[in-house]
A and B are shown apart, each in its own frame.
Chain A
Amino acid sequence: AQTVTQSQPEMSVQEAETVTLSCTYDTSESNYYLFWYKQPPSRQMILVIRQEAYKQQNATENRFSVNFQKAAKSFSLKISDSQLGDTAMYFCAFMRVQGAQKLVFGQGTRLTINP
């Protein structure tokens, strides 16, 4: 079974700073997808970014980028020029390509952006 670990329960940075959230996962699959979801105080789950394991290039979405290290099974999220609206819980998630496609989530990192 796949597992996803987020080792930072909480993080806090100043507005405009850069912050990196860590995620590691365990799987025997060779092909899979990784995601970062954001859950603001409204509790809506919002997709931030996705990465296909077969792609070596790291995904980027505006101020959000990932550092995908397949051999190390690491998938960190970098938020540049952080904004107050980035305050949220961030969840790393894994989905296999073959078979039943279910999202397996980490426990989340609570990120606070301070003014």
Chain B
Amino acid sequence: SQTIHQWPATLVQPVGSPLSLECTVEGTSNPNLYWYRQAAGRGLQLLFYSVGIGQISSEVPQNLSASRPQDRQFILSSKKLLLSDSGFYLCAWRPSYNSPLHFGNGTRLTVT
């Protein structure tokens, strides 16, 4: 079966520290992958999406970057975290064209 794994579930990091959030999908190949961020009590904002290895599209210019080193792996990174990077980060994947997105369990990031 197809599953998505996202970790860590919770992360507390000081301002200026680096960030690496990882997402992997099992049971499929060449999925479309997405990173969303959700501020407290708000909707989801698309940060990055990828249609293949090494292909990353950025939706919002910011302090974050994304990489896709392997077909089913999507990584969200930052060299230096800002307070405004705090939020709930969700990874999602889509198995085929015109299918809905399926989400991981999310990472709650608090920058202190």
Name A residues whose Cβ lies closer than 8 Å to a Cβ of B.
Answer: 33, 35, 42-45, 47, 50, 91, 95, 97, 100-108, 110
Say if the beta carbon of B90 comes within 8 Å of chain A.
yes
Contacts of A110 in B (CB 8 A): 41
Contact A45 B103 (CB under 8 A): yes
- Among A47, A97, A107, contact of B98 (Cβ-Cβ < 8 Å): A97
Task: Give 22 CB contacts A-B under 8 Å.
Answer: A33-B98, A42-B105, A43-B105, A43-B106, A44-B106, A45-B44, A45-B106, A47-B101, A50-B100, A100-B57, A101-B94, A101-B97, A102-B34, A102-B46, A102-B49, A103-B44, A103-B92, A103-B100, A103-B101, A105-B44, A105-B45, A108-B42
Majority secondary structure, B binding face:
strand
Say if the beta carbon of B24 comes within 8 Å of chain A.
no
Say if the beta carbon of B79 comes within 8 Å of chain A.
no
- Among B43, B59, B100, B102, contact of A105 (Cβ-Cβ < 8 Å): B43
Rounded to whole angstroms, the CA-CA distance of A100 and B42 in the bound complex is 24
Q: Which of B15-73 contact A (CB under 8 A)?
A: 32, 34, 41-46, 49, 51, 57, 59
